[in-house]
């Protein structure tokens, strides 16, 4: 009876989100700006390419910004809003590590579009972020895909809205699956999207306990390769600096490929929530598939990131949506 009640409660919460996602899917379309701003994708890609040349964190940071935005209030660029009283998403502890260069990538792309007479005040920050995330993937060596467009920007951003909405680095498989399921994403989608960790970094505070005090003791997480831990400890010492970080894929940290999954097979997943994908037998087969077949990974990733881009997407204006003139502020 208890399991049945849990299922019913979960379903009553999930159904409205899935219905909203289905509505957005029907209204989002790849050719949305064909008549109003035909140069939108080339303008955004030019800005993204320039930022990636200027900063190694701009690419992975922009991709992470897209994930964080969609998981909280849906893909509405609410993560970019600044509140004068400090009550906004990006100042929640789970978002404060988002890269400044990622925000700047979207802001610069918006400025470029606003300076284009045909595109001025027509392209949402939410759509710019979705396009920029795709461009980061492609420019890093990953797959290219058509982005569904037609989102408008949200007007609300609060610290509290981030709570319990984002995966944590110590999540187990059940916790990961539950969080992604709320957004209509399957376990395969979750594993594919986790592959975005093939580029980027994480700070030492996210992995310190795995290396020094696992399980509240003084040991090392037994799922970690010992030589790998030794290498990580050179950067993440027992008294590391707050700014210390390590690459999530040390072999090819700037290339979007399937080495992330090969690392998991070797016990070289940096985050506990990464390594558990191979440690847990329920997800290991998918990790092994992606590790041995990059094409399968790319195809699954495109499917998953497209589904992610539909989550909570607003497609009509009104009290809760608009096309912002400035991505950091409501009009």
pLDDT one-digit tens code per residue, 215-240: 877 789 999 999 999 999 999 998 88
More confident position, 20 or 157 = 157
Query: Angle 281-292/187-194 helices, nearest 10 degrees?
Result: 50
- Rounded Cα–Cα distance for residues 130 and 128 (Å): 5
Task: Decide: 321 and 78 in contact? Cβ < 8 Å.
Answer: no
Phi/psi at 30 (5° precision): -65, -30
| Boundaries of every domain in the chain | 27-165+310-322, 173-307
Q: How many CA atoms lie within 13 A of 198 on its CB side?
A: 25
Q: With H, G, I as helix, E, B as strand and everything else as coil, classify residue 320.
A: coil
Q: What is the pLDDT of residue 264?
A: 98
Q: Which CATH number fits domain 173-307: 3.30.565.10, 1.10.420.10, 3.40.50.9100, 2.30.40.10?
A: 1.10.420.10
Q: Which of 210, 220, 189 is nearest to 270 (CA)?
A: 210
Instruction: Scan for tokens 């208890």, then name that residue.
Output: 2
Element housing 316 (H / E): none
Least confident piece of the model among 14-23, 152-161, 187-196: 14-23
In angstroms, rounded to a whole number, what is the distance separating the alpha carbons of residues 109 and 77?
14
Cβ proximity of 297 and 134 under 8 Å: no
> Which secondary-structure segment (H or E) carries 219?
none
**Does the pLDDT at position 200 exceed 80?**
yes
Tell me if 134 sits within 8 A of 142, measured CB to CB: no
* 40-44, 203-207, 212-216, range with the lowest pLDDT: 212-216
Mean pLDDT of 62-80: 97
Indicate the DSSP class of residue 158.
Answer: -
Question: Cα(176)–Cα(282) distance, rounded to whole angstroms?
Answer: 13
Number of H helices, E strands in the chain: 13, 4
d(CA 290, CA 176): 18
- pLDDT for residue 22: 45
At 82-141, the pLDDT tens digits run 999 999 999 999 999 999 999 999 999 999 999 999 999 999 999 999 999 999 999 999
Q: What is the pTM of this model?
A: 0.91
Question: Which are the catalytic amino acids?
Answer: 68
CATH topology of domain 27-165+310-322: Peroxidase; domain 1 (1.10.520)
Query: With the C-alpha atoms ordered 173, 174, 176, 182, is the resulting torsion angle positive or negative?
Result: positive
- Angle at the Cα of 211 (from 206 to 212), degrees rounded to 5? 105
pLDDT of the residue at 287: 98
CA dihedral 275, 281, 282, 283 (to 10 degrees): 40
Helix (H, G, I), strand (E, B) or coil at 8: helix
Average pLDDT over residues 162-187: 97
pLDDT band at 12 (very low <50, low <70, confident <90, very high): very low
188 near 286, Cβ under 8 Å?
Answer: yes
């Amino acid at each position: 009876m208890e399991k049945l009640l849990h299922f019913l409660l979960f379903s009553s919460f999930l159904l409205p989100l899935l219905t909203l996602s289905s509505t957005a899917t029907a209204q989002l379309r790849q050719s949305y700006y064909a008549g109003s701003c035909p140069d939108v994708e080339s303008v955004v890609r030019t800005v993204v390419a320039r930022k990636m040349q200027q900063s190694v964190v701009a690419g992975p940071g922009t991709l992470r910004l897209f994930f964080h935005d969609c998981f909280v209030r849906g893909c509405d660029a609410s993560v970019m809003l600044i509140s004068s009283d400090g009550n906004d998403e990006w100042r929640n502890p789970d978002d404060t590590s988002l890269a400044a260069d990622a925000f700047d990538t979207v802001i610069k792309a918006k400025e470029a579009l606003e300076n284009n007479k045909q595109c001025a005040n027509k392209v949402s920050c939410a759509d710019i972020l979705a396009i920029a995330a795709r461009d980061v993937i492609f420019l890093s060596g990953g797959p290219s895909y058509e982005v569904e467009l037609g989102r408008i920007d949200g007007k609300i951003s609060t610290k509290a809205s981030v709570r319990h909405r984002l995966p944590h680095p110590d999540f187990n498989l059940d916790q990961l699956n539950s969080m992604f399921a709320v957004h209509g994403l399957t376990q395969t989608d979750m594993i594919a999207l986790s592959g975005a960790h093939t580029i980027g970094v994480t700070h030492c505070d996210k992995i310190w306990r795995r290396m020094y005090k696992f399980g509240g003791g003084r040991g090392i997480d037994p799922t970690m390769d010992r030589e790998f831990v030794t290498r990580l400890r050179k950067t993440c010492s027992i008294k590391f600096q707050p700014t210390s970080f390590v690459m999530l894929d040390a072999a090819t940290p700037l290339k979007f490929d399937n080495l992330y999954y090969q690392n998991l097979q070797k016990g070289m997943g940096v985050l506990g929530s990464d390594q558990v994908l191979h440690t847990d037998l329920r997800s290991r087969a998918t990790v092994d598939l992606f590790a041995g077949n990059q094409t399968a990974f790319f195809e699954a990733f495109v499917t998953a990131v497209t589904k992610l881009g539909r989550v909570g997407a607003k497609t009509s204006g009104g009290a809760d949506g608009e096309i912002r003139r400035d991505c950091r502020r409501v009009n």
